[in-house]
Amino acid sequence: MRKWLKNVMVLASAFALMLAFRTLAFSIHSVSGNGLTPLYRNGDCLLVNRCSYGLRIEGNGLLPYSRLLRCPVKRGDVVAFTVPNDSVAGIYIARCKAVPGDTINTHKGVTVVPGLKTCAKTDYYWLEALNKENPADSRHLGFIPESDIIGKVMTVLYNRHNIRLQ
Protein backbone atom coordinates (compact mmCIF):
# COMPACT_ATOMS: atom_id res chain seq x y z
CA MET A 1 0.00 0.00 0.00
CA ARG A 2 2.83 2.41 0.77
CA LYS A 3 4.45 1.82 -2.61
CA TRP A 4 1.17 2.60 -4.35
CA LEU A 5 0.75 5.81 -2.34
CA LYS A 6 4.35 6.80 -3.07
CA ASN A 7 3.77 6.38 -6.82
CA VAL A 8 0.58 8.48 -6.65
CA MET A 9 2.46 11.23 -4.77
CA VAL A 10 5.25 11.23 -7.37
CA LEU A 11 2.76 11.48 -10.24
CA ALA A 12 0.76 14.21 -8.50
CA SER A 13 3.93 16.20 -7.80
CA ALA A 14 5.10 15.84 -11.39
CA PHE A 15 1.70 16.97 -12.66
CA ALA A 16 1.68 19.98 -10.30
CA LEU A 17 5.21 20.99 -11.37
CA MET A 18 4.31 20.63 -15.04
CA LEU A 19 1.18 22.72 -14.58
CA ALA A 20 3.05 25.43 -12.66
CA PHE A 21 5.86 25.48 -15.25
CA ARG A 22 3.41 25.71 -18.13
CA THR A 23 1.33 28.40 -16.42
CA LEU A 24 4.22 30.56 -15.22
CA ALA A 25 6.95 29.98 -17.80
CA PHE A 26 5.50 28.85 -21.14
CA SER A 27 2.14 28.61 -22.82
CA ILE A 28 0.91 27.30 -26.16
CA HIS A 29 -1.43 29.36 -28.32
CA SER A 30 -2.82 28.45 -31.71
CA VAL A 31 -3.19 30.84 -34.63
CA SER A 32 -6.70 31.10 -36.04
CA GLY A 33 -7.10 33.11 -39.19
CA ASN A 34 -4.58 34.64 -41.56
CA GLY A 35 -3.72 37.83 -39.66
CA LEU A 36 -0.07 36.78 -39.32
CA THR A 37 0.65 35.44 -42.79
CA PRO A 38 3.27 34.87 -44.19
CA LEU A 39 5.17 34.33 -40.90
CA TYR A 40 2.49 32.21 -39.19
CA ARG A 41 -0.30 30.22 -40.83
CA ASN A 42 -3.78 29.28 -39.73
CA GLY A 43 -3.47 26.28 -37.39
CA ASP A 44 0.10 26.94 -36.18
CA CYS A 45 0.62 26.24 -32.47
CA LEU A 46 3.08 28.77 -31.03
CA LEU A 47 5.25 28.45 -27.93
CA VAL A 48 5.12 31.68 -25.90
CA ASN A 49 7.74 32.44 -23.24
CA ARG A 50 5.76 34.07 -20.42
CA CYS A 51 8.95 35.01 -18.52
CA SER A 52 10.71 36.77 -21.41
CA TYR A 53 9.83 40.23 -20.06
CA GLY A 54 9.80 39.27 -16.39
CA LEU A 55 7.53 37.14 -14.26
CA ARG A 56 3.99 38.56 -14.46
CA ILE A 57 2.21 39.10 -11.18
CA GLU A 58 -1.48 39.65 -11.72
CA GLY A 59 -3.37 40.46 -8.58
CA ASN A 60 -6.82 40.02 -10.15
CA GLY A 61 -7.98 43.09 -8.26
CA LEU A 62 -6.27 42.17 -4.99
CA LEU A 63 -2.73 43.28 -5.89
CA PRO A 64 -1.52 45.76 -8.49
CA TYR A 65 0.00 44.41 -11.71
CA SER A 66 3.80 44.11 -11.65
CA ARG A 67 6.68 42.12 -13.14
CA LEU A 68 9.60 40.61 -11.24
CA LEU A 69 12.99 40.84 -12.97
CA ARG A 70 11.46 43.21 -15.55
CA CYS A 71 12.98 43.35 -19.02
CA PRO A 72 11.40 45.72 -21.58
CA VAL A 73 9.89 44.61 -24.88
CA LYS A 74 12.30 45.26 -27.76
CA ARG A 75 11.42 46.67 -31.16
CA GLY A 76 10.92 43.77 -33.59
CA ASP A 77 9.84 41.21 -30.98
CA VAL A 78 6.81 39.11 -31.90
CA VAL A 79 4.60 39.07 -28.80
CA ALA A 80 1.34 37.52 -27.58
CA PHE A 81 -1.09 39.95 -25.98
CA THR A 82 -4.66 40.37 -24.85
CA VAL A 83 -6.78 43.25 -26.07
CA PRO A 84 -7.16 46.06 -23.52
CA ASN A 85 -10.57 46.34 -21.86
CA ASP A 86 -11.56 42.94 -23.33
CA SER A 87 -13.25 44.62 -26.29
CA VAL A 88 -12.29 41.64 -28.46
CA ALA A 89 -11.86 38.32 -26.66
CA GLY A 90 -8.84 36.13 -27.22
CA ILE A 91 -5.06 36.23 -27.42
CA TYR A 92 -3.42 37.99 -30.34
CA ILE A 93 0.05 37.93 -31.87
CA ALA A 94 1.78 41.01 -33.28
CA ARG A 95 5.23 42.52 -33.87
CA CYS A 96 6.44 45.41 -31.68
CA LYS A 97 7.02 48.37 -33.98
CA ALA A 98 7.61 51.11 -31.38
CA VAL A 99 8.73 51.24 -27.77
CA PRO A 100 8.21 54.00 -25.19
CA GLY A 101 9.94 57.19 -26.33
CA ASP A 102 9.40 56.64 -30.07
CA THR A 103 7.27 58.88 -32.26
CA ILE A 104 4.60 57.21 -34.38
CA ASN A 105 3.60 58.54 -37.79
CA THR A 106 1.24 56.71 -40.10
CA HIS A 107 1.48 57.80 -43.69
CA LYS A 108 -0.41 55.90 -46.40
CA GLY A 109 -0.82 52.85 -44.15
CA VAL A 110 2.89 52.55 -43.35
CA THR A 111 4.10 53.04 -39.79
CA VAL A 112 7.27 55.10 -39.48
CA VAL A 113 9.24 55.08 -36.23
CA PRO A 114 11.73 57.95 -36.35
CA GLY A 115 14.43 58.49 -33.74
CA LEU A 116 14.19 59.01 -30.03
CA LYS A 117 11.51 61.70 -29.74
CA THR A 118 9.13 61.28 -26.84
CA CYS A 119 5.59 60.41 -27.86
CA ALA A 120 4.62 57.02 -26.47
CA LYS A 121 3.75 56.79 -22.80
CA THR A 122 5.91 54.78 -20.42
CA ASP A 123 5.15 51.06 -20.55
CA TYR A 124 2.97 51.35 -23.68
CA TYR A 125 3.90 49.74 -27.00
CA TRP A 126 2.83 50.01 -30.64
CA LEU A 127 2.08 46.48 -31.89
CA GLU A 128 1.21 45.65 -35.50
CA ALA A 129 -0.01 42.41 -37.03
CA LEU A 130 1.77 41.32 -40.18
CA ASN A 131 -1.43 41.26 -42.20
CA LYS A 132 -2.74 44.83 -42.54
CA GLU A 133 -6.42 43.74 -42.35
CA ASN A 134 -6.07 42.31 -38.82
CA PRO A 135 -8.35 44.39 -36.53
CA ALA A 136 -6.53 43.56 -33.28
CA ASP A 137 -3.40 45.68 -33.35
CA SER A 138 -2.33 49.24 -32.54
CA ARG A 139 -3.58 50.67 -35.83
CA HIS A 140 -7.10 50.00 -34.55
CA LEU A 141 -6.65 49.87 -30.75
CA GLY A 142 -3.92 52.45 -30.11
CA PHE A 143 -1.02 51.84 -27.75
CA ILE A 144 -1.03 48.49 -25.93
CA PRO A 145 -0.04 48.61 -22.23
CA GLU A 146 2.73 46.31 -21.01
CA SER A 147 0.28 44.71 -18.59
CA ASP A 148 -1.59 43.20 -21.58
CA ILE A 149 1.55 41.64 -23.11
CA ILE A 150 1.74 37.96 -22.17
CA GLY A 151 5.19 37.13 -23.54
CA LYS A 152 7.46 36.65 -26.52
CA VAL A 153 6.63 34.11 -29.23
CA MET A 154 9.53 31.65 -29.35
CA THR A 155 8.74 29.20 -32.16
CA VAL A 156 6.09 27.26 -34.05
CA LEU A 157 5.64 23.85 -32.42
CA TYR A 158 3.42 22.30 -35.08
CA ASN A 159 0.49 23.01 -37.37
CA ARG A 160 -2.83 21.42 -36.38
CA HIS A 161 -3.90 21.04 -40.01
CA ASN A 162 -0.75 19.11 -41.00
CA ILE A 163 -1.09 16.35 -38.39
CA ARG A 164 -2.00 13.04 -39.97
CA LEU A 165 -3.26 10.15 -37.93
CA GLN A 166 -1.97 6.81 -39.11
Is 35 inside a domain boundary? yes
0.95 exceeded by the pTM?
A: no
Is 16 inside a domain boundary? no
The CATH number of whichever domain residue 146 belongs to comes to: 2.10.109.10
Is 165 inside a domain boundary? no
Q: What is the pLDDT of residue 129?
A: 79
C-alpha to C-alpha distance for 145 and 89, rounded to whole angstroms: 16
Pick out the chain residues at pLDDT < 70: 1, 21-24, 34-36, 57-66, 68, 84-89, 106-121, 130-135, 163-166
C-alpha to C-alpha distance for 139 and 59, rounded to whole angstroms: 29
Is 18 inside a domain boundary? no
C-alpha to C-alpha distance for 53 and 150, rounded to whole angstroms: 9
Is 164 inside a domain boundary? no
Give every strand in the sheet of 149-159, ordered side by side: 26-30, 44-49, 149-159, 78-82, 91-98, 124-128, 144-145
Domain count for the chain, please give it. Answer: 1
- Please, what is the Cα angle at 127 between 121 and 128, to 5 degrees? 145
127: domain range? 27-158
Is 5 inside a domain boundary? no
